[in-house]
Amino acid sequence: MSELLCGRFRFTFDRPLVMGIVNVTPDSFSDGGRYDSVAKAVMQAERLVNDGADILDIGGESTRPGAVRVPDDEEIHRVVPVLQALQSLNVPLSIDTCKTAVMRAALDAGVDLVNDIAALEDDGALAIVAQSRAAVCLMHKQGEPRGMQSAPYYDDVVAEVGAYLAERRDLGVAAGIDPCRLLLDPGFGFGKTFEHNTALFRALPGLAEQLGAPLLIGVSRKAMLGTMAGRPVPSERVSASVAAALLAAQAGAAVIRVHDVRETVDAIKVWLALK
């Protein structure tokens, strides 16, 4: 059975792992706002661990379509205190960033996984991660988050996403990253129409086999589920997200990135007991 080397930790993929999302967003008040947002993120993280999260994914920049960009040092000041506070929890910590400077600061703070929606394309990112013991998730996207949903286009979305992930995987290995440290992610919602997303989802078993690497899948509360379930409000997409997480698990996903950890963990337990 394959395994994932993940900083201080090592996983075997005998069951799908659940990665819980922790957003470190600044408070609207500048006085003490940073202290408040750190405290809130730490509380959220502790709750997700109690809910059964295997990994915590900490992000200081929103990559939702249309979100504003955050400067390097602001993102570092948001996430590093949270990572430091969570070190003693003894749970694998992931940093959700596409910036080399943030990766460096997070690795210095002891992060176990680098989750990069830009697949280490930023200058110096490949080398920084290669020099560490952290695992890395390489994700596909088309365009930049700000304008990526304006006109996504592919001749063959499954073939193109597969080819890109294979190329980034090979570059990572050539830079010195042990294949056992790699996760690959087709990047649901990142420069993809509803039809692109559904075609990719149906192709997951083949993609996992073709790439020969564990897949991380992130569909939690995303717009495609809102469309399918008729739920325009993201917080009302919990059941849709649990259904999609379970289907991703059945399609062979190694890691599922979710907001609703407790609900997802229960569903996976039922599947494992009955399959």
Closest approach, Cβ 143 to ligand YH5, in A, equals: 14
Annotate each residue in 100-129 with x if it binds ligand YH5 (CB under 6 A) or - if it does not, as one string.
Answer: ---------------x-x------------
Q: Would you say 168 or 221 has its CB closer to ligand YH5?
A: 221
Report whether 272 contacts 246 (CB < 8 A): no
Annotate each residue in 64-103 with x if it binds ligand YH5 (CB under 6 A) or - if it does not, as one string.
Answer: x-------------------------------x-------
Report whether 245 contacts 256 (CB < 8 A): yes
Annotate each residue in 187-216 with x if it binds ligand YH5 (CB under 6 A) or - if it does not, as one string.
Answer: xxx--------------------------x
Q: Does the annotation mark 99 as catalytic?
A: no
Closest approach, Cβ 155 to ligand YH5, in A, equals: 23
According to the binding rule CB under 6 A, does residue 63 interact with ligand YH5?
Answer: yes
Member of 223, 240, 249, 256 binding ligand YH5 (CB under 6 A)? 223
Catalytic residue among 257, 262, 269, 275: 257
Q: Would you say 104 or 221 has its CB closer to ligand YH5?
A: 221
Member of 112, 185, 203, 265 binding ligand YH5 (CB under 6 A)? 185
Closest approach, Cβ 225 to ligand YH5, in A, equals: 9
User: Which range, of 76-84, 160-168, 221-229, 262-270, touches ligand YH5 by CB under 6 A?
Assistant: 221-229
| Long-range residue pairs from 198-201, CB within 8 A, at least 24 positions apart, any chain | 198/224, 199/157, 199/158, 200/157, 200/158, 200/161, 201/244, 201/247, 201/248, 201/251
Q: Would you say 104 or 116 has its CB closer to ligand YH5?
A: 116
Closest residue to ligand YH5, Cβ-based? 218
Contacts of 266 (CB under 8 A, 6+ apart): none
Contacts of 147 (CB under 8 A, 6+ apart): none
Q: Would you say 188 or 201 has its CB closer to ligand YH5?
A: 188
Q: Does the annotation mark 141 as catalytic?
A: no
- List residues with catalytic annotation: 222, 257
Per CB under 6 A, residues contacting ligand YH5 are: 63-64, 96, 115, 117, 137, 139, 185, 187-189, 216, 218, 221-223, 234, 257
